[in-house]
Amino acid sequence: MSKERRKFTPEEKYSILQEAEREGSAETCRKYNLALYVVVGVQI
């Protein structure tokens, strides 16, 4: 059972980061099913 890797466009990535700043990293990660370190690591 393998998961297929998702690919986000640069615009989608930017939008997700903006949303994380507004609504919080944890909530955004749950919404998009991302690991928290993916969002937090980029914000630092």
Would you say residue 1 lies in a domain? no
Would you say residue 16 lies in a domain? yes
1-44 pLDDT, tens digit each: 567 888 999 999 999 999 999 999 999 999 999 999 888 877 66
Would you say residue 25 lies in a domain? yes
Q: Output the pTM of the full model.
A: 0.77
Would you say residue 36 lies in a domain? yes
Number of domains present in the structure of the chain? 1
Would you say residue 29 lies in a domain? yes
4, with CB counted inside 10 A (0-12, 13-18, 19+), is exposed
How far is Cα of residue 41 from the mean position of the Cα atoms in its chain?
10
Domain that holds residue 36: 10-43
Would you say residue 4 lies in a domain? no
Backbone φ and ψ of 32, nearest 5°: -100, 5
